[in-house]
A and B are shown apart, each in its own frame.
Chain A
Amino acid sequence: MSSTTSKPVHRISYRAVEIIQRNLLLAPGVLLYATFNFIPLLALFQLSLVNWPGIGPKVYVGFDNFTKVLTHPYYRDQMLNALIQNLVFFVVIIVCFLLIGTLLAMLLSVKTWGRKTYQVIFFLPYPMAGAAVAYLLDLFVHPRGPLNAALVQSGLLDSPFPFLGSEDTALITMSMFYTWHRMGFAIMLILSGILAVRSDLLEASMLDGASRWQSIRHVVFPVLGPAFILITVIVMVDVFNNADYVLLIMGPEAGPLRSTDIMGTFLFRTAFGGSADTTDTNFGMAAAIGLLTAIMILPAALFLALRNLRQQ
């Protein structure tokens, strides 16, 4: 369709084909997402208005599930507790990621001996299945496990330290598990940001007589923004929604004394019941909790995401 067609006709047909192709390109992803994700998500609103134990008839209760979660002391206290602990969990992880991750990524970006090997080793835990990591680390920090044995035998401690057995340390230990598992990913994202720094800018800054630290601060850090934001968003969404570690290690009761309870475990317990009581389950209330969680993190996630986009 070149020489014989006149220019305007050619343009229209190009445009038409373009639109068809565009729609064809868009279709698979949109269809997949809509069918298996977005449309079920919309049905969540409906579900949050019923009382339903997961089987049998659904009983319409209006906004009862929301009022119960927000005002009934038994549920409200659990919700607040889970929310605060979830925030702590998130902050500990993100601080570790950004501090240790940036430090290690920096060191990997300069000429150090064996840095290729270090890269591989640092990344090693990340591809491991969460279930395997959870079981492994649970055994590792057990009072009779390797870590405590080493601490006691070397004389650092008199008696085993109850990492997961005390309500003061269990949540922190859980966030350390998460950090141990995912640090490699944070390092790589930050490293990729650092490697993208244009060396001519750095050279110029060094020639201007800036110290190393000043060059890093003024030339490298600003470039790392998108990486930091990406890590923050991914981690935020993950820790507020998924609670696989706690579920696998502590079960839905999120012990000791609910000290590892986060939104994911609270929601799971509401939908499927805890190990202490399997009779009291309500998918409707779980949907309400999910919606409330989403309302809380959605603005933060969207803000960060859009900022990330707009910056570029």
Chain B
Amino acid sequence: MKRLQKTLALATAVATLAASQFALADTTVQLYTWREQDKALFDYINERHLIPGVKVNLNVYTEDIEAKLRIDMQTNRPDLYHAKAGSAWLQPWINAGVAAPVTDLGIDLSAFGEAALAGARGLDGEIYGVPFVMEMEAILYNKAVLDHEPATLEELEATFADLKAQGIIPLHVDGRDGWYLNQVLHETILAGMTSDEWAIGVVEGTTCFTDDIYVEAMERFVSWRDNGWLNPNPLADDYGAMRTGVALGTSAMMIDGIWSATPASPMYQIDPTLELGFMPIPGNAGKVYGFTDAHLAYNPNSDKMDAVQKVLEFYTTPQFTQLFADLVEAVPASNHPVDVSNERVQRAAEMISNNSLAAQPFFEDSLISVDPGYRPLVSEGMQQMLAGRISPRELAEKIQSGLNQAGYVGASNCAL
């Protein structure tokens, strides 16, 4: 580890020297992303000229990234972009000829495990980007309000009751945002309260949403609402309101991704001394939901291909991995050993590799490439269930029948 830091320092020094001579010749590449939190990293990289001869200009669009990317691709402006995981996301870009396998450029991917590469794999089996960040979704809690981690659902519920008695909202959820409902809330409940076998089965079409294990998980969650352990009017609160509540300590826990616990998270603007802990929902499976969040893809029509290649190569280096862990404080996707002094990053990395749900329905082609697919069905259904309009059983039937009608692989096993 020490050696690595030394090399890093040396590399920085050399790069700085080199850059001072060639600074004028820098090629600027346009990198499109929704990841606001990577800004500091690229400021650091650009300032120190860590990628020789290349400056990376980050174009951040947190909400409209796909629309913006689609539009700007028409003028061939993006050279590189952060792509979201899953072949369903990639396919339109591949069809349009603005995504191509990174192996075409001879990028060496030996530093990445299969789990990380899966998110960047297209339907044809090729790898279309360099994975760089793993994310995890779980219960995040404010340590100033909650000082222990309940180990079972019963303990968790006792804690809920206890918190409620103190006038604190035990569990805050965002009922407004579609992406939160399907990608975060629903999937974290799956990871905590269903099982690996069930999740794998759903992807393969052998188990069903109408199975008891799923319905019971959702019933348990709904009982939390009925006991008053969730925020009143969840549909009135958006993502910001949820995070504000936990940051202020008026709410104890929320179901969210660990990105909210990185230094760039606005929660620390509210309370710089905030300490967040995270744990799985301690149910049947008791797992967290870990996944490759993003990979770096490139535009094969870019006229700055040399620079593009350099940036992609940089993303595979131990140096990048270390910088990413240090500056973004998120879990890198590569297998390069990193010196993680940060306890939070270390724990998250361990949880992702040892204790995360075995399948990720949200990213699985068998579920989302049908139309209407898993994503809109789940987010609509979850919102209806939170509002008390449908029961957990009806939610399960809604998702299942929607998928069945659209030609889901398990339609015959799960006929209603």
Docked Cα-Cα span, A4 to B267, in Å, equals 86
* Across-interface contacts of A142 in B (CB, < 8 A): 236, 241
Question: In the complex the two chains form, is A56's CB within 8 Å of B92's CB?
Answer: yes
Given A57-B96, A142-B241, A256-B387, also A275-B235 (CB < 8 A): no
Question: In the complex the two chains form, is A256's CB within 8 Å of B89's CB?
Answer: no
Any B CB within 8 A of the CB of A193: no
Docked Cα-Cα span, A151 to B178, in Å, equals 30
Question: In the complex the two chains form, is B373's CB within 8 Å of A255's CB?
Answer: no
Any B CB within 8 A of the CB of A279: yes
Closest B-chain residue to A167, C-beta based? B387
Docked Cα-Cα span, A169 to B294, in Å, equals 38
Residue in B178, B372, B375, B376 whose beta carbon sits within 8 Å of that of A255 in the complex: B178
Any B CB within 8 A of the CB of A125: no
In B372-392, which residues have CB < 8 Å from any A CB?
372-373, 375-376, 378-380, 383-384, 387, 389
Interface size on B, residues (CB 8 A): 45
Question: In the complex the two chains form, is A257's CB within 8 Å of B389's CB?
Answer: yes
A-B contact count, CB below 8 Å? Answer: 119
Interface hit among B66-74, B133-141, B303-311: B66-74
Question: In the complex the two chains form, is A57's CB within 8 Å of B175's CB?
Answer: no
In B67-91, which residues have CB < 8 Å from any A CB?
67, 70-71, 73-74, 84, 88-89, 91
Any B CB within 8 A of the CB of A130: no
Min Cβ gap A302→B in Å is: 32
Any A CB within 8 A of the CB of B233: yes
Question: In the complex the two chains form, is B178's CB within 8 Å of A143's CB?
Answer: no
Question: In the complex the two chains form, is B236's CB within 8 Å of A163's CB?
Answer: yes
Report whether over half of chain A's contact residues are helix, strand or loop; otherwise say mixed.
loop
Question: In the complex the two chains form, is A251's CB within 8 Å of B178's CB?
Answer: yes
* Across-interface contacts of B73 in A (CB, < 8 A): 55
Question: In the complex the two chains form, is B95's CB within 8 Å of A56's CB?
Answer: yes
Any A CB within 8 A of the CB of B212: no
Question: In the complex the two chains form, is A272's CB within 8 Å of B233's CB?
Answer: no
Any B CB within 8 A of the CB of A250: yes
Min Cβ gap B298→A in Å is: 15
Given A56-B97, A142-B241, also A251-B177 (CB < 8 A): yes
Any B CB within 8 A of the CB of A23: no
Docked Cα-Cα span, A251 to B182, in Å, equals 15
* Across-interface contacts of A251 in B (CB, < 8 A): 63, 177-178
Docked Cα-Cα span, A85 to B368, in Å, equals 29
Docked Cα-Cα span, A250 to B135, in Å, equals 26
* Across-interface contacts of A278 in B (CB, < 8 A): 66, 84, 89
Question: In the complex the two chains form, is B97's CB within 8 Å of A257's CB?
Answer: no
New A-B pairs, 8, CB < 8 Å, besides A144-B241, A274-B376? A55-B93, A57-B96, A142-B241, A165-B234, A167-B235, A251-B177, A257-B235, A273-B66
